Each structure stands twice: as structure tokens, then as C-alpha cells.
Structure 1
């Protein structure tokens, strides 16, 4: 089959699902236009299974059907006499059988890799939660009791409760590489890159006071510190 034949075939499939252009197909399937060009050239064997699967889902046909339709089973769109007879009796040729077998193997491999990836994600999530719980252990165990005592005795000094929260929080932030931009109450020059004004327009270098702490993780800014004029 020629490139024009495959292109026309793809356009027909696109028309059936209301996709007007190859660029629109690229966006809908989440694949590059280069991959779509390979499909138009009949280079299915050079395409990854996940790419073909995305295209088959958007075009609303099975993966097997997509691969068979866009495979170069015969040169220049001409089938020999034996292949014509097989087509008439709906008996797949040896080439088609081999291709379908390959598709089945690739699908199974793809499904296995997806399952392994999902299991890996769950394992990493469990490890993350476990590590976080270890850092927050003292807070989880002591905070409910401290809160109960504070409710029973409103005169209880808050300064006695603060370490229960502060220590495990500081430990967790240190473990994740997160650091405060400035401490609450600090007075420093206003820097719009790291500070957010709470009152009016501030000029860079103007003296400000930190009202809410900001955070960054390495070179990445997480939250700007909220400040107000001194």
C-alpha cells in the first residue's frame, strides 16, 4: 500500500469520530504528529504499543484492527491470487497471523508493564507514608492529649504545646529539603521574588516585617513569605 492509501484510510477513520485534522488527532491522542506520519506511511512496526493504543482508543477501533489496517501486507496495494482467495474466505494469511500474534504479545507485555508500574507506585506511596508517619510520630501520639489538656485548662501556657508541633514539623521539612525563607517577625528588605505584600504596593528594598513564613525547596519556590511595611 502507498502512503496516500494509508493517509486516506486514516482520514476516513478520523471523519467517523469527528476529528478534522492530523493536528487535532495529535492533541486528542496525546501523541506527536511525527507518530501520526509514521502511521500514514504504514510504519506500524516502528511504533510503540502505547502510542498505537492511544490512537486506537481515539479512533474507536481495536488495537488489532488498527495494526492490520496500517500494515504493509502487500506492496503497492496489490494482493496476489493466494491472498485474494484467503480474503474471500476470511482466512488470514501467514503474514497476518504472524502480525496478530505479535500484536497479542505486545499487548500482553504492555499490560504487564502497566501492572508493574501501578504496583511500583503503590509501593512508593506506602514507603512515603511510612517515612512521613515516622517523622510525625511524636506529634500524632502527643498532640491529641495536649489539645485535650488545653481544652480542660484554658490557662495552660501555649508555649508548652508549641514544641510538640514544631519539632516533628522541623524534622519533616529538613528530611524533604524544605527551608523557610524567613522567620515570622524578621525585618528585612522587600524582595518581590520571595515576598508577597499584604498591604499596598511595596518597592524593592523597602523595609518590611515577615507576617507569614514562606518556603522553598532547593531552587524551587514553594510559597512566598507574606510581609507588611515596618
Structure 2
């Protein structure tokens, strides 16, 4: 049985949209001339769904009408098959678009967080420098005077260091664990023995203070048994 020739039907559709040749149709749709030949011969089963969609768009005809026009067998079954394939293709396209949208949103959020982190770091540095301003301005002069006068009493320069440091720790929410020389009950969670062993609750003496920030332990206080 000779193949049915759908070329006249295709030419009529091409003429209605101002396309004069199959080469021009191929260029306009991005579909190969071999695929167009399959359409002219009614071999839709050899054509991909996305190819039919491209042709229907340029020829300004619905995909289902395109199949019905160029079908050699049962058009209803081919239209149904095409509809199912088109639905799958559209679903995949939607999923890919959603993934692309999520990726763009993720990149936007990461960029925003990066910018916010830079701003927060700058603000943190600025606030810390303001607290340490007196130390930064006067410490080099005091240090030089101490070098020039070895007998300069250390107690006179301690406030210059101590007060800015206390303000900085307070601003950061850092608390000291006990004080140097304090006698306190031993707790291994917060205290570290410099030597020997001690029982929980045994009185120990603080040699070096520790620090904690809210519920987080930064450094254990170093202690010795009495």
C-alpha cells in the first residue's frame, strides 16, 4: 500500500503563515528537514513530542489538530497518545522550572546572607573599636613610659587595660568564672586542676579565671587544691 502524501496539506498550512519552503520551515521551527519529511509522509510515530509542539506553534495550529491532520491510522488513539506524552513533557518542564526557580532563590538568599554577614562583621568591629578606644589611643604612650621608667608602678596603668577589657567582655556577654585567689567548691565542669586530683565539692583555689558566654563554656578556671 503506497504511503499517503500529506505534502499538499503541509503546504497549505505553510502558506497560511507565510512560509514558502520546507527549508524555511525547518529554520523557523528549529526542526530538521528529515523530521518535516516524516510529517509529510504521516510518520508521526517517528517524531518526538517536542518536535510536534514546535511545528504546531509555527504553523499556528493546535498539537491535536496537527496530529489529526497528518495521521494515517486511528487519529483518536494517536491524539490520546500525544496528549499523554505532552502532559508528561509539561510536567517535567514544570519540575525543571521549579528547580531552576529554587536554585535562583537559594542563590539570592545566600547572597543576602553574605551581605548581611559583612555588615554585621563591620558593625561588630566598629563597636569593639569604640569600646577599646581609650586603650588604643593611650596604651602605646603608657608602654613607652614604662620602658623609660622601669620603676613605674603597675597599679597605675592597670585601669587603662582593665576597664576597656571589662567593657568589651560585658558587651559580648562573657562572664568570668570566679576570680583569682577565690576559694570555691571544685566542679570539674567549670574547673581544671593544675595538678593532682580533687573530689567534687572539695575546696580549691583559683589560679587563673575561666570564662563562659551564656550557657557556653569558653575556658575552664584553672585551680589548685588547698
TM bin, normalised by shorter chain, reads 0.5 to 0.7
Q: Could you tell me the TM-score, scaled by structure 2's length?
A: 0.58
Unaligned runs of 5+ in 1: 1-80
Is residue 227 of structure 1 aligned with residue 223 of structure 2?
yes
For residues 120 and 112 of structure 1, the distance between their equivalents in structure 2, rounded to whole angstroms, comes to: 12
* Secondary structure of the corresponding residue to residue 222 of structure 2: strand
For residues 113 and 128 of structure 2, the distance between their equivalents in structure 1, rounded to whole angstroms, comes to: 22
For residues 45 and 93 of structure 2, the distance between their equivalents in structure 1, rounded to whole angstroms, comes to: 13
For residues 164 and 83 of structure 1, the distance between their equivalents in structure 2, rounded to whole angstroms, comes to: 88
Question: Which of the pair has the greater relative contact order for Cα pairs under 8 Å at 6+ separation?
Answer: 1
1:86 aligned partner: 48
The equivalent position to 2:102 in structure 1, one of 103, 106, 125, is 106
Q: Could you tell me the TM-score, scaled by structure 1's length?
A: 0.57
Q: How does 1:150-161 map to 2 (within 5 A)?
A: 150-161=146-157
CA RMSD in angstroms comes to 2.8
The alignment of Structure 1 onto Structure 2 pairs a total of residues equal to 150
Q: How does 1:13-24 map to 2 (within 5 A)?
A: none
2:208 aligned partner: 212
Bigger mean CA offset, 215-224 vs 98-107: 98-107
Q: Which has the larger radius of gyration?
A: 2
Unaligned runs of 5+ in 2: 1-42, 55-85
* Secondary structure of the corresponding residue to residue 105 of structure 1: helix
The equivalent position to 2:175 in structure 1, one of 176, 179, 182, is 179
